[in-house]
């Protein structure tokens, strides 16, 4: 996919224009958002900032209510951003890295900041991706023929895939994520990670790969509307999956 490395600030403004931007930008969206933030605030030594939401907070209703979207992004995600910036204070070399690079290399960081970057860098990457992996119902497109073929090969059918991704989310005890990843050999796999870990984190997760789709199963992602009913949240979430973005990530993932 073509990623708008420059002008990044224009992309950020453009992303506010509407959901069409997501489909057009494809797999580079998260990187573009993260680096737009990076450039904007480098002078203050706050390399990462909260990305703009590419749709209104109420656009995912009824699957995800506006209040949950607001608190999830402006409180939880913002805290990950703030704590990541704090952890990187005084580490100019790390401040210049992309969020993907930080996640991939987190196991090699000094012990003093490893845990903070793992939790908060992971949180920033995971949530930046999560927002663009969703779109208002009816606007997320459908799985491409290529992605459908790969899913059928790996999981039997689209329905089986959906059931397995949801099952991985249900079986995640406590907090974490359920992911569809493309592994280095090109095959697809479903994995689950605890807390804010993700499949980019070398040495910390069992299976590495590029996240194509991920769903947040922390209680903060659904509790206001669904309370304890994680299964209902996961079922309704499929209505707001942005397949256009998943297709693009599948096509561009190495």
Q: Where on the chain is the footprint of Mn ion (CB under 5 A)?
A: 216, 218, 221
CA distances to 7, 44, 45, 50, 99 from 40, rounded to whole Å, are 11, 9, 10, 11, 15
Q: Pick the closer one to Mn ion by CB: 193 or 247.
A: 193
Q: How far is the CB of 141 from Mn ion (least distance, A)?
A: 24
The residue at minimum Cβ distance from Mn ion is: 216
Q: Pick the closer one to Mn ion by CB: 122 or 136.
A: 122
Q: What single-letter DSSP state applies at residue 44?
A: G
Q: How far is the CB of 175 from Mn ion (least distance, A)?
A: 8
- Asked if 227 and 6 count as a contact pair (C-beta separation under 8 A), the reply is no
Between β-strands 210-216 and 188-194, what pairing exists: parallel, antiparallel or unpaired?
Answer: unpaired
Q: How far is the CB of 74 from Mn ion (least distance, A)?
A: 12
Tokens of 30: 């998260």
Q: Pick the closer one to Mn ion by CB: 11 or 130.
A: 130
- Asked if 222 and 178 count as a contact pair (C-beta separation under 8 A), the reply is no
Q: Pick the closer one to Mn ion by CB: 132 or 221.
A: 221
- Asked if 233 and 223 count as a contact pair (C-beta separation under 8 A), the reply is no
Q: Pick the closer one to Mn ion by CB: 221 or 240.
A: 221
- Asked if 47 and 41 count as a contact pair (C-beta separation under 8 A), the reply is yes
- Asked if 94 and 87 count as a contact pair (C-beta separation under 8 A), the reply is no
Q: How far is the CB of 114 from Mn ion (least distance, A)?
A: 21
Q: How far is the CB of 182 from Mn ion (least distance, A)?
A: 23
128: enclosing H helix or E strand: helix 122-132
């Amino acid at each position: 996919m073509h990623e708008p490395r420059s002008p990044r600030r224009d992309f950020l403004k453009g992303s506010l224009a509407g959901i069409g931007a997501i489909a057009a930008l494809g797999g580079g969206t998260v990187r573009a958002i993260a680096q737009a933030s990076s450039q904007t605030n480098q002078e203050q030594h706050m390399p990462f900032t909260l990305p703009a939401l590419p749709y209104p907070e109420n656009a995912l209703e009824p699957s995800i209510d506006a209040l949950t979207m607001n608190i999830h992004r402006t409180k939880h995600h913002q805290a990950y951003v703030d704590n990541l910036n704090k952890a990187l204070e005084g580490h100019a070399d790390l401040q210049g890295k992309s969020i993907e690079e930080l996640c991939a290399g987190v196991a090699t960081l000094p012990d003093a900041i490893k845990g903070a970057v793992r939790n908060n860098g992971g949180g920033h990457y995971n949530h930046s991706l999560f927002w663009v992996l969703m779109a208002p119902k009816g606007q997320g497109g459908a799985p491409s023929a290529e992605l459908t073929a790969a899913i059928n090969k790996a999981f039997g059918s689209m329905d089986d895939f959906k059931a397995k991704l949801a099952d991985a989310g249900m079986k995640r005890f406590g907090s974490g994520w359920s992911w569809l990843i493309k592994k280095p050999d090109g095959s697809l796999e479903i994995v689950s990670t605890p807390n804010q870990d993700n499949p980019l984190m070398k040495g910390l997760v069992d299976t590495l790969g590029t996240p194509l789709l991920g769903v947040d199963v922390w209680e903060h992602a659904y509790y206001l509307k669904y309370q304890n009913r994680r299964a209902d949240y996961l079922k309704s979430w499929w209505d707001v999956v942005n397949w256009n973005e998943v297709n693009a990530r599948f096509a561009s993932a190495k």
